[in-house]
Structure 1
């Protein structure tokens, strides 16, 4: 597949990673970095940070070893500010604040948040009601732990929509949002009221903004989520555009 390149610099590019694409090489597919290198006609590009397979959005790739080392340093020193968007069908325990705690492995490949704070995951968040049983979350991770945002959302009592690892079964969520929906096929549901077909075959987490300084130049890159029905709801789009996290509303893509 070809990836959309949102920004191209002589030392790095920023691409849009769709949901369902792994940043690591799967057994049956060519790795993301190999695909992008082929797309650019280069021998190699460097992965400098990661997004979960279920997460869509902005991904930085370095174009040389020197810039890869520089970005690794920036991420290690938490000098790259990341903003994510998420949707949930559950009202959180609190509308905004910080989630802090150590993370430990749980069952079935999941992680859990602990009360201890020896080496904690830290997430700043705010939530906005879009409509009954649907909330938008704006998440700023201040650390970079595995599944950090998905675990943070679960700890709030608001698992991410479509996240079967940390939340309820997708079918249960769909019926909570609208009891008229019936299952058609994998990920496809139809409302018996409007006859509209909707999709909920992804985890609704999106890497929407990256802010950083590279070699003295400041960068602020933003991208709206593109895939799937629930991101395209008018109430969700309106709340995203109203929020100051997108500044004056100027969105790159």
Structure 2
């Protein structure tokens, strides 16, 4: 279900495997309960979530003091998070910002609207792998349901293997998972700054030589000059 990255006095950081449900769902036990059981914790406070199909870093607080401090950073958008995704086809633009309201579509899908009353905001840069796929480094500035998946769909490049948005199959690729991964997180707690990255370990395209080479460019996602976008 997950691999443990950090187990400190104040927080727990794990890397969730794709296909793992955050809560119980149809499984005997959900991710949160599994971590609590494994670490012998009475309480564990989730600070954000990942879709079932998405893998990667998830942060939890262990106590009320830590959850208040970290939850405030999430609300104020001072926690820095990055995701990586793979997609085929040619994007409408190779870098920039996607901004728009999210509205419900059919069959569990979401759509990006032209309105910006309460928008989802995502900045991104990308690079080609040389095999027909493109690697996207995504910086969400808000935390809406399906935000990153819809952002790439709106650019004409749905996440490879996405069960909801990857409808027009590309015969060049045979995805064995949804290629979206929570890659990096940076936050401050009790006056100390923490920064972590996590390289995906599952998925044939995520462990390919082409991907490994391209990802080196994004090893330090905080070093890029990201646009100053108002949320």
What are the superposed Cα offsets for residues 54-89 of structure 1, whole Å, 9 maximum, x if unpaired?
110000111112212222211111111110000001
| Alignment CA distance shift 1:204-1:94 (3 Å) | same
Change (3 A) 1:244 1:48: closer
What is the number of residues matched between the two proteins?
A: 223
Q: Which stretches in structure 1 are left out of the alignment for 5+ residues?
A: 178-188, 190-199, 249-253
Q: Is 1:207 aligned with 2:182?
A: yes
Alignment RMSD: 1.6
SS of 1:242's equivalent in the other structure is: helix
Q: Distance in 2 between matches of 1:158 and 1:29?
A: 35
Could you tell me which residue of structure 2 aligns to residue 245 of structure 1? Answer: 220
User: Which is greater in Rg?
Assistant: 1
Please identify runs of 4+ aligned residues in structure 1 that moved more than 2 A.
242-248
Establish whether residue 71 from structure 1 lines up as the match of residue 67 from structure 2: no
Distance change >3 Å, CA 243–CA 31, structure 1 → 2: closer
SS in 2 for 1:236: helix
The answer as to whether partners of 2:66 and 2:189 remain within 8 angstroms in 1 is no
TM-score when normalising by structure 1: 0.84
CA distance in structure 2 between the aligned counterparts of 1:202 and 1:243, rounded to whole angstroms: 22
Q: In the alignment, is residue 48 of structure 1 matched against residue 44 of structure 2?
A: no
Superposed CA offset, 1:76-134 (max 9, x none): 11111110000001111011000011110000011000000111110000110101421
Q: Distance in 2 between matches of 1:232 and 1:30?
A: 29
2:204 equivalent in structure 1: 229
2-structure distance, mates of 1:109, 1:245 = 34
1:201-251 deviation per Cα after TM superposition (whole angstroms, max 9, x unaligned):
311000000011112110110010110101011111101012353579xxx
Distance 1:225 1:105 in 2: 30
Structure 2 counterpart SS, 1:160: coil
Deviation at 1:168, TM superposition (A): 2.3
Q: Distance in 2 between matches of 1:231 and 1:27?
A: 27
Q: State the TM-score, normalizing by the size of structure 2.
A: 0.91
- SS of equivalent to 1:221: strand
